[in-house]
A and B are shown apart, each in its own frame.
Chain A
Amino acid sequence: MNIAATLPASHDQPRTLPGDLAIWFFIFAELLVFGVFFLAYAFARARNVELFDASQLQLDRISGAINTALLISSSYFVVRAVDRIRHGASHACAGWLVAAMTLGGAFLVLKLTEFAGKFAAGITMSTNTFFMFYIGLGFFHFMHVVLGMIILGWVAHKAWRGGYSAANHAGVETGASYWHMVDLVWIVLFPLIYVMH
């Protein structure tokens, strides 16, 4: 019996990338796309500073900040879920993942409320370049949150049914890595679009 293979991984042990390698190539591709969009926004802003600054004043910065807190907290809950499964606690792992999904759901509700307010005010992607980026980037990220919640839901379901263990939990780390990517992207998106002027 390989004892080392039955021991839970530790944060202090040197490890390869967490989860499946395939998800990391997906994450790299996603980050590349978001990075191009962020820099496109930044260069477009440099050419239309007055327009971007005036349009940004119409955003609800507090709503963006609350959404940032929601995603950061959900990411932390996912860290707790990974820690639990490394100790073989499947149900606790599933519980933390459901908590993370709940905050992800709150993010979506707040974001939809924000978008609805803009549409009710007659603001669309055609209004100007700033709102094209605001709605386009926001919706693109929104869809990533939805996909992340689907992944976490699937992982939570499998964890609840005992599909992972302390020795075999790559699936949990795979889902966690994707969710952290969604959080990381928002950490850049929020200050770029809502705060910096």
Chain B
Amino acid sequence: MKLATALWVLLLILTALTTQSAVIAAGFLVPFVLVMTYIKGQVVIDHFMGLRHATSRLRWIVPAWLLVVVGGIAYTFTLS
């Protein structure tokens, strides 16, 4: 449980950083927030959902979803 508790604190810190990202220069805001989001999502998938130690091939679907969604969002911000 020590790892889960440490990851919970990490997630709260990353959330605070995301919220305060308005102080970051405009050009870095989107990549910074997306990296924070990806890390947070991966922590939840691996350690809270418990997919890190799952053996089913289906376990790749959720990390793949996160990658596609975050990557797709990143792409749309290159269009504007």
Residues of chain A at the chain B interface (Cβ within 8 Å): 11-18, 24, 27-28, 31-32, 35, 38-39, 42-43, 45-46, 49, 61-62, 64-65, 68-69, 72-73, 75-76, 78-80, 82-83, 173, 177, 180-181, 183-184, 187-188, 190-192, 195-197
Contact = CB atoms under 8 A, between A and B. Distances in A.
Contact of B1 (A32, A43, A83): A83
B19 A45 contact: no
Interface in B1-21: 1, 4-5, 7-8, 11-12, 15-16, 18-19, 21
A183 B53 contact: no
Contacts of A31: 61-62, 65
A12 B53 contact: yes
Contacts of A184: 41, 44-45, 49, 62, 66
B48 A79 contact: yes
A65 B73 contact: no
Given A28-B61, A187-B41, A196-B33, A39 B15 contact: no
Chain B binding surface, main DSSP class:
helix
B65 to A, nearest CB: 5
Interface of B: 1, 4-5, 7-8, 11-12, 15-16, 18-19, 21-22, 29-30, 33-34, 36-37, 40-41, 44-45, 47-51, 53-56, 58-59, 61-62, 65-66, 68-70, 72-73, 76-77, 79-80
Contact of B29 (A79, A80, A181, A196): A196
B1 to A, nearest CB: 6
A38 B73 contact: yes
A109 B77 CA distance: 32
Which 4 A-B pairs rank lowest in CB-CB distance, beginning with the nearest? A42-B76, A76-B8, A65-B19, A46-B79
A80 B15 contact: no
A177 B80 contact: no
B53 A15 contact: yes
B77 A65 contact: no
Contact of B18 (A24, A83, A195): A195
Chain A binding surface, main DSSP class:
helix
Contact of A72 (B5, B8, B61, B65): B8
A28 B58 CA distance: 10
B69 A39 contact: yes
B44 A180 contact: yes
